[in-house]
Amino acid sequence: MAVALIEFEQVRKAFGSKVVYESLNLEIHEGEAITVIGGSGMGKSVMLKMLIGLLGVDSGTIKFDGEVISNVTQSQLAKVRRRIGMLFQGAALFDSLNVRDNIAYPLLEHGRPTPKEIDARVAECLEDVGLPGIERHKVAELSGGMRKRVGLARAIALRPEVLLYDEPTTGLDPIAVAHIVDLIVELNERYDVTTVVVTHDMPAAFRVSDRIAMIDRGYIIFEGSPDEIRYSDDARVRDFIEGNAPETDDIQTLLRYGG
Ligand SMILES: Nc1ncnc2c1ncn2[C@@H]1O[C@H](COP(=O)(O)OP(=O)(O)OP(=O)(O)O)[C@@H](O)[C@H]1O
Ligand SMILES: [Mg+2]
């Protein structure tokens, strides 16, 4: 039996009269790579923000490792947050800091490492994302793909058990997409982390996921393996994956995603 590491139970979330989640129910299993798909504005980012406590829930609960983590105190939340790394949509780096100091940020927020310890960990994380030696670079000088990878280096700085990715491939050129997709898979395997990706990029979803869940108008309307979603006959699922699926005769896409 798969162990639920994260559980959303009847989570309701609205902004004013705009209901994002009527009742969100989802279990995320330890060690799996799950992708949550859904159209723009369906609440993918909101889901991740509720999970790390940037947004509260209106009712229902979110559990992590068996404990309720929704609507808890800042200090309880801090304990959870250091176990979860997140790559934000748009990377959310501090432009005024260089690459090293961006990656060092969570280390200083959650502990008192020496400068030497920081340097060692930063170097390791940059190595992990395939960008060794760029510590002194200014964030403003980085390409979109590099920004995402530095954001990922920051997300893994505390060696989290869970990695959350918000639209990791959006806005990147095909080579950078292939790179980040490979990294997601690699980190999931190498560090045995639980991986949660939210995206509307179907090829990326197929490539990284053990399981895919689809959200639509406030509910999870599908959960299953990539093969199960490929052959789902739910019209909403079909519309979504067909609208996003690569052209089968597009050789570059096929090569990139391995068919
Ligand atoms: N802080 C907020 N205040 C008010 N409304 C919000 C807030 N955050 C999100 N929303 C609304 O909640 C809905 C879901 O937003 P969310 O950002 O989660 O969508 P998404 O699925 O991530 O979309 P995209 O694919 O464009 O990133 C949207 O209608 C959005 O306008
Ligand atoms: Mg979003």
Whether residue 36 has its Cβ less than 6 Å from ligand 1: no
Please tell me the residue having the least CA distance from ligand 1 atom 25: 40
Q: Is the pLDDT of residue 251 over 70?
A: no
Structure tokens at 233: 């006959």
Per-residue pLDDT at 22 = 94
162, 83 contact by CB (below 8 A): yes
Per-residue pLDDT at 259 = 42
Give the mean pLDDT of the chain: 90
Residue 223 Cα to ligand 2 midpoint, Å, equals: 20
Residue 42 Cα to ligand 1 midpoint, Å, equals: 7
CB atoms within 10 A of CB 64: 21
Residue 241 Cα to ligand 2 midpoint, Å, equals: 18
State how beta strands 84-87 and 162-166 pair. Answer: parallel
- 4-83+162-257 placed in CATH 3.40.50.300: yes
User: What is the distance between the alpha carbons of residues 148 and 168, in angstroms, rounded to a whole number?
Assistant: 7
pLDDT digits (tens, 9 = 90+) for 207-250: 999 999 999 988 999 999 999 999 999 988 998 888 854 444 44
**Which of the ligands is closest to the CA of residue 47?**
1
Per-residue pLDDT at 246 = 44
Q: Where are the domains of the chain?
A: 4-83+162-257, 93-159
Q: What share of the chain in percent tops pLDDT 70?
A: 93
Please tell me the residue having the least CA distance from ligand 1 atom 7: 15
- Region 20-24: mean pLDDT is 95
Ligand 1 atom at minimum distance from 46 CA: 18
Please tell me the residue having the least CA distance from ligand 1 atom 29: 41
Per-residue pLDDT at 244 = 53
Q: Is the pLDDT of residue 99 over 90?
A: yes
- Region 199-213: mean pLDDT is 93
240, 217 contact by CB (below 8 A): no
Left, alpha or beta for 249 (phi > 0: left; psi -120 to 50: alpha)? alpha
Whether residue 112 has its Cβ less than 6 Å from ligand 1: no
Residue 39: pLDDT band with limits 50, 70, 90:
confident
Residue that is written with structure tokens 């340097």 in the block: 119
Please tell me the residue having the least CA distance from ligand 1 atom 27: 40
Per-residue pLDDT at 92 = 85
- Region 99-114: mean pLDDT is 94
Per-residue pLDDT at 255 = 55
pLDDT digits (tens, 9 = 90+) for 165-193: 999 998 888 988 999 999 999 999 988 89
Residue 90 Cα to ligand 2 midpoint, Å, equals: 10
Ligand 1 pocket test, candidate residues 44, 169, 202, most atoms within 8 A of CB: 44
Residue 40: pLDDT band with limits 50, 70, 90:
confident
- Region 162-166: mean pLDDT is 96
